[in-house]
Amino acid sequence: MDIHPGPIGTLKISDWWRGLIVALVTAPLTIIYQSLMATPVTLVFDWKAITGAALAGGVAYLLKNLGTGTGGQILTNAPPKPSSPKIP
């Protein structure tokens, strides 16, 4: 699987898989957060909030990848600038 980003405005199949993973990881984190914030602390399943958070996380990841160019920088296809060596 190619992990290098494509040009701005394109998504690779790996981006879609990672977006799905982000959405799947966001759902249990939402359950944990809501359960810890409940008084008394109980296991809470607010499916509307869980689904909304998972979708928002997945879509945000895909939008970030749409705006990232081949150099891995936001809103540009230019390759990353080489970092200057640090002088001790």
Domain with 47 in it = 13-66
Q: How far apart are CA 59 and CA 24, in angstroms?
A: 12
What's phi and psi for 77, nearest 5 deg? -95, 0
Residue 80, SS3? coil
Average pLDDT in the 58-77 region?
83
Residues 4-57 pLDDT 10s? 667 778 888 988 999 999 999 999 999 999 999 988 988 888 899 899 999 999
Number of domains in the chain: 1
Residue 31 within a domain: yes
- Residue 1 predicted with pLDDT over 60: no
Residue 73 within a domain: no
User: Comparing 79 with 28, which gets the higher pLDDT?
Assistant: 28
Which CA distances in Å does 76 have to 28, 54, 69, 70, 86? Answer: 34, 28, 5, 8, 26
Residue 51 within a domain: yes
Residue 5 within a domain: no
Q: Give the pLDDT band of residue 77 (cuts 50, 70, 90).
A: confident
- Residue 2 predicted with pLDDT over 60: no
Residue 7, SS3? coil
- In which residue are the tokens 């993973």 written? 21
